[in-house]
Structure 1
Amino acid sequence: MSRNAPPVAARSAIALAGFPVVAGLQLAAVLLLLWTILSVLPGAVALRAGVPLSIATVGALGYETWRALHTRRRTPAGVAVTRGQAPKLWELIDGAAAAAGVRPPDGVTVVADATAALGERTRVLGLIGGRRDLYLGLPLLQALPPARLRAVVAHELAHGSPKLGRWAPLAYRGRVAVGRTAPRISRRNPAGAVLRAYAGFYRRMDAPFSRAQELAADRIAADHAGVADAVAALRDMPALAGMQRLFHAEYVGPGWQAGYVPDDVFGGLLRVLAARPVEMSMLRATEPEPSGPWDTHPPLAERVAALTPRPSPASSDTASAPSSDTASDAAPASASEEPSASEDVSGEPPSSEAADEEKPAEPDEELVPDLPALGRALQAVAFPPRGRTVVSWDECLSFARTTEMEREAEAALAAISRASDAAVPDAAHLLTLVADGRLRAAAGAVFPDTSPEEITARIVDLLGLMLALAALRGGVARWRHSWTGAAEVVAVDGANLNLAELAAAAADPETTEAVRTYLTENGFDLAARADQRASARARVLGGLVNLSADGTRTDLLITDLGLLLVPGLPRGRGVEAKRRLTRIAADGVPAGAEPPVEPDSDQEARRFVPFADVAGVTVLPGRRKGWVLGLRDGGNLSLRPALDADELPGGWAAWDEAVIFLAGTR
């Protein structure tokens, strides 16, 4: 960069200021075009039509521009922690703020995700600053040593450090605000095309500064907490986030969908972290995927290399403190170099010894007194039951696994019932089909073009599933859970059950009745139906707002079990409709019996269409594609997007997958 060129932070700030300029020019261009058209009209006509037409056109475009650039402030659910409640934690934060050269945040909120972020209530796309709050994930307080947490906090606060340049705080605020706003600009917004194009230009202009700023913030964190802890924190953060995703997918999510919530969510996360060190180590060694096009973080390997220069005499000359003028000068010269395979990336260079001597001493007590109590308070706001039953972890996991088996069994028995033209609600009826030879024929109809060996394997699997449910319902079996692997069905005394052998014997018509007798004598409840529990919830995959269902304005939730149709709101209330559908999805879609509804609630008019009741789907051609679902009772359900149709995140993708599934299995 030449001496006369403006600093990259200043260029980023100038590009940020271009947003209102571009918006104003767009309005001016539309107004100029309108006046040009009016100028060729007769004077009386132009006078009568000009004022209302100008107000309507420019007013509408101005409103849409405001909507496009309006930054929605969404505060994460969390628990505020004051200085009096956690003085040691605030002492750590104050030290990190001093190291970054910024004032401490105005507040600290503990949130559920394994993340750390500095949120600022900015205005005008970050051009005007405001209150600053630090959001710290409870998993970080649970799992990270204080030194690594110190590095994490210092990095976040350093984003707004004047050490990175006079314009750096403004440029960073703008980057965050634009990154939050630009992806939300609707493609149906008439003012959106120009603003989205300028957002892409701004992102390219800002990229060099953002990359250098992240590396400089890493260096500030390393100078404050030590290189070893800063590097370890860089690896720990994405690994903790990955472990938390695994924890929610394997433990919390199934129980949540089944209608249950554990009484100590964050305690369960600690157990998973303690029981799965191998997975944690693998995640620490894995390069995390970018979170999106607006992610400012360089690759992890590059960040680690920038903090651990090669152990050679030349490398010590290249490491320098961040410049106070430009963010690009703040990045060490070795930032683009890859460390060698034999290099100890967790060790500190010789030049960091003095910094280590000045590193604050480790706290002699926990940063947050009574962290389990904080976890329970956070669970109340981050995981509100909303009609679910709060139970122990063992009960939650047991109910979740049983509900999953019930769903699988119910779907399989429904298919067998249709193929055999006979009701098959339980294991007893299924064994009857096996004994008279009809189950193999029904399975062949459900799975055409399948070899006899595969048909036998599928029959054995289904029988094993039904026998496990019969054992659980009969009280002769229970779940044995593990924080390291899959749960298994065992006898009540913990002994292994030979369900696979019993299922294989039951699949043979010659021994089916003997197996039935054995199961009945040993307490298996073969008549237990594979019905859903009343509290079970279907898993929501996506949502669509403002569709036409049989000519009626309707919102739609796509779940793993079917479609929930919700009466739509009038035109002009699209934002409210999206918020309402998001709330319904968060509350959960009951998979069994409907719960009582409040008087005058739109829930009375909601309609759930199970996928099992759909006989086929037809795609209607046209610019606005439509669909007709043929139902097994002979009726039809016609769906078509309205002109103002919108989606919850991933809504159209979930709908396309549902249509493909229905078309391919019917």
Structure 2
Amino acid sequence: MRGSVRGGLAVLSLVLFPVVVLAPGLGGVLAGVAIGHRTGLVVAILSLAALLVLGLALVRALRTRLPAPKGPALTRQAHPALWRLVDELAARARTRPPDVIVLVGEVEAAVRDDARVLGLRQGRRYLVIGLPLLAGLDVAELRCVLAHELGHYAGARPGLLAVSYRGAETLRLIVSRVDRGPTRWILGAYAWVYAVVSRSPNRAQELRADEYSVAAAGRAIATSALRKTTTLRPLWQSYGDRFLRLPPLAERTPDVLLGFRLFLGHPAQRRLVTELEPTALGTRPGSRFDGHRSARQRIERIATLPEAPARPDPRPAWTVLTDPARTIPVAEERLYFKAEPGPRTTWGEIVQLSGATSATRGAALLARAGRESGVAPNGTLGELLTAVQHGRIDRLMRPLLDESADPELLRHSARERLAVLLGDVVVCALLAQRRVHHELDWGRGWVVTGPEGVLDVARLVTPAVRDPESVPRLAQRLTVMGVPLDFGRGSAGSHGEVGRMHVVVGVAPEVVAFKRNWDVLIHDDGLLLVPLTASRHLAGAVGRSESARRKRIARLLRHGTAQLIDRPGARWLPMATMLGGERKSYLTGGGKVALRFAGGDTATLRTQDDDAYDELARFLDTVPRPQGAAR
């Protein structure tokens, strides 16, 4: 009863939303009329302008609908077994089944209504299933997850709790799409009030959803599914960061989901789960709109629910699809590769090809730096080692670094970067003689293997970079290994390695980073962050304008990189100081890319735009990684 009352209050707050948004402007107009004279006229005019802006924002808010998920649809005709399962679970929850089932690329499961008018009116219903779940769960665990998601809308008719839950989803999207300014303040304040009012009914709905999850397959399986989904997200991010960047380098297409299942089965990942689980289970959702408790609290409550007959089914969850051997590769190519990288092959071959390509690019880059700096005119390994021994590291690396950065950071970055690239030269020389090859390791990505086993390139090279006096010992060791000191790799050629030209290869507009909004120009050697102007914030008060965005980006590209770098407030993030990073896409669109820099600094770039996120993710894939076992 209490949940229904609070659900009614939440729905009432949605109904009053237009009144609250327009009240400041309307109140100002009435106050101006009451004041009269010139002062009142000024107040009325300003308030009328504010009322117009708020009205336009309100219209946009009322028209906001949850976007249709992007991914391949699984039809009833093509996948009858999956639809029978979903129909059965929807009937148990006394809710209507989805109209569409869609596969997405992340660890996600959700039921979304394409609701209108702040979620008060039902729309097309989507069931979203993340492709990684099909590899990480078994059939019984997937059954529990889907039962929980359908349980959010439980009830024979669209009740108050379901409307409250749907309203929270819609309001979250509205706030995320409004820029800074008065409209953002008003909508943000209203969203906070709504979050307080709807928190209790939404939490009640979550508790009911867990009850349906237990009823679907029993307490033990429901607990197992919850534990797995909690840790699958960081594991999928790690898998993507290590492996999904390799197929474009190898120009081959892998079995993504099969690789993820093998990745999960490796002892290193099982140890990682043991480390991650205590923190992950105790973490509460960060969104103020989210009614979930921590996974640990939910597991404790699940243990108190009435037991249901267990329905174990240890088969991989992908067996609910018709002909998964055909369906899954098609979905993988659409979700993870904009274009098929090349012929389909094994992960072992992809690792060999991509490792060789990465080493060749790094070796070519360092050879060119040696020639441009003058310390290694022929770009040979012997010349490079001599430059290191004579203390010419800064001069050698200068063509690859941004001289406007902090001098101390430059010195630190130069040495870390040199150790990676020098390792690439050594590996490239050994590859040319067929003495080593890159070998798949699901725990570390890849290792460089030779006749004597795994070659730890970083451990071999790094001491000489840190202590120039040890260079002769390194040269002697390399000679014993059969590495010719006159080995040299030519220019980067078709690989388009970086230089001082700062070539623009992509654009990511309206990105949030360092607590500000930026347009990001993506270059082949770094990222240029250009701060957004006040005029854009004013335009953002009534929503984003695609035409304004296109004109703004066109002006930036006409100015050129050299001029934009000197613009007040602009920030240049050189690739040469980057040590990699992670990425994560959002179900509602866009995602975030977290970059790591030499010296321990980090930067997280967030965007709600799919195309902008794809551009940033592609840039991350081009950031060179170290060779060797510690990958």
**One of 514, 526, 545 as aligned partner of 1:562:** 526
Q: Which amino acid aligns with 2:85?
A: L
Give distance in 1, aligned partners of 2:26 and 2:573: 51
Separation in 2, partners of 1:165, 1:199: 22
| Pick aligned residue for 2:194 from 194, 198, 202 | 202
Asked whether the equivalents of residues 86 and 368 of structure 1 are also in contact (C-alpha less than 8 Å), the reply is yes
- Say which SS state the counterpart of residue 319 (structure 2) adopts: coil
**What's the counterpart of residue 226 of structure 1?**
218
Instruction: Give matches, 1:626-665, under 5 Å.
Output: 626-627=569-570
Matches within 5 A, 1:204-353: 204-253=196-245, 255=247, 258=249, 260=251, 262-275=253-266, 276-280=269-273, 282-288=275-281, 289=283, 290-309=285-304, 351-352=306-307
Q: Give the alignment of 1:501-512 within 5 angstroms.
A: none
Q: 1:381 aligns with which of 298, 311, 334?
A: 334
Q: Which residue of 2 aligns with 1:483?
A: 442
Residue 124 (structure 2) pairs with residue 159 (structure 1): no
8 Å Cα contact 2:162-2:205 kept in structure 1:
no
Kindly provide the CA deviation profile for residues 382-425 of structure 1, in whole angstroms up to 9, marking residues without a partner as x.
Answer: 12335855664334434544565567667777887888766574
Deviations along 1:466-504, whole A, 9 cap, x unmatched?
31232234543221111122422223x685558666997
CA contact (8 A) 2:367 2:376 kept: no
Stretch of structure 1 that moved more, 212-221 or 268-277: 268-277
| 525 and 111 in structure 1: CA distance in 2 versus 1, 3 angstrom threshold | farther
In the alignment of these two chains, the number of paired residues is 550
2:385 maps to 1:431: yes
- Residues 53 and 361 of structure 1, relative CA distance in 2, 3 Å threshold: closer
- On the 8 A contact 2:440/2:446 being kept in 1, the answer is yes
Task: Give me the whole-angstrom Cα distance separating, in 1, the residues matched to 2:462 and 2:19.
Answer: 72
CA distance in structure 2 between the partners assigned to 1:284 and 1:172 by the alignment: 28
> Which residue matches 1:598?
none
Shift of 1:604: 9.1
Deviation at 1:563, TM superposition (A): 3.0
Aligned residue for 2:180?
Answer: 187
Equivalent residue number for residue 87 of structure 2 = 94
Report if the CA contact (8 A) 1:68-1:192 is conserved.
Answer: no
* RCO comparison, higher one (Cα < 8 Å, 6+): 2
2:174 match: secondary structure: helix
Q: In 2, distance between residues paired with 1:536 and 1:98? A: 57
Corresponding residue for 1:83?
76
Q: Any idea what the Cα deviations from partners look like across 1:533-590, whole Å, max 9, x if unmatched?
A: 627899999945499xxxxxx9433579313699x99976954279879xx9xxxxxx
Could you tell me whether the CA contact under 8 Å between 2:107 and 2:232 is conserved in 1? yes
Q: CA offset at residue 303 of structure 1?
A: 0.6
Counterparts of 1:480-559 in structure 2, within 5 Å, are 480-491=439-450, 495-496=453-454, 526-529=487-490, 531=492, 534=495, 543-545=508-510, 555-557=519-521
Classify 1:559/1:277 alpha carbon distance in 2 versus 1 (closer, same or farther; 3 Å).
farther
Q: Distance in 1 between matches of 2:192 and 2:271?
A: 40
Write the distance in 2 (CA, Å) between the matches of 1:108 and 1:444.
Answer: 52
| 1:144 CA displacement | 2.1
Judge conservation of contact 1:558–1:654 (CA < 8 Å) in 2: no
2:31–2:44 Cα contact (<8 Å) kept:
no
Does the 8 A contact of 1:79 with 1:109 survive in 2? yes
Pick closer, same or farther for the CA change 1:235–1:423 going to 2, 3 Å. Answer: same
Q: Which residue of 2 aligns with 1:340?
A: none
Whole-Å separation in 1 of the counterparts to 2:555 and 2:485? 43
Quick one: distance in 2 between partners of 1:458 and 1:118?
A: 46
1:636 alignment counterpart: none
Q: Which has the larger radius of gyration?
A: 1
Decide whether aligned partners of structure 1 residues 563 and 146 sit closer, same or farther in structure 2, where only a CA change above 3 A counts: closer
CA distance in 1, matches of 2:573, 2:496: 29
- Structure 2 gaps of 5+ residues are 513-517, 575-589, 605-631
Aligned-partner Cα distance in 2 for 1:82–1:459: 53
Does the 8 Å contact 2:360/2:489 carry over to 1?
no
- Residue 649 of structure 1 and its aligned partner are, at CA, apart by 6.6
TM-score (norm: length of structure 1) = 0.67
In the TM superposition, residue 525 of structure 1 has moved relative to its aligned partner by 7.5
Change (3 A) 1:86 1:464: closer
Partner of 1:635: none
Match in the other structure for 1:333: none
Task: Using the TM superposition, give the Cα deviation of residue 99 of structure 1 relative to its aligned residue in structure 2, in angstroms.
Answer: 1.2
1:18 aligns to what?
A: 16
Alignment of 1:130-149 (within 5 A): 130-149=123-142
Alpha carbons 2:380, 2:488 under 8 Å: kept: yes
Post-superposition Cα deviations, 1:117-168, rounded to whole Å, max 9, x if no partner, equal 0011111110111111111122223332222212111111111112799311
Check if 1:576 corresponds to 2:576.
no
Q: Partner residue of 1:122?
A: 115
Look up the match of 1:74.
67
Alpha-carbon shift at residue 531 of structure 1 (Å): 3.1
Change (3 A) 1:12 1:444: closer
1:40 aligns with 2:37: yes
CA distance in 2, matches of 1:236, 1:73: 27
Distance of 1:74 and 1:55 partners within structure 2: 32
Pick closer, same or farther for the CA change 1:128–1:308 going to 2, 3 Å.
same
Root-mean-square deviation (CA, aligned residues, Å) is 5.3
CA distance in 1, matches of 2:571, 2:234: 40
Partner of 2:620: none
Aligned: 1:171 with 2:164: yes
Q: What amino acid sits opposite 1:385 in the alignment?
A: K
**1:524 and 1:121, CA in 2 relative to 1: closer, same or farther beyond 3 A?**
farther
Deviation at 1:102, TM superposition (A): 0.8
Aligned equivalents of 1:433, 1:182: Cα separation in 2: 56
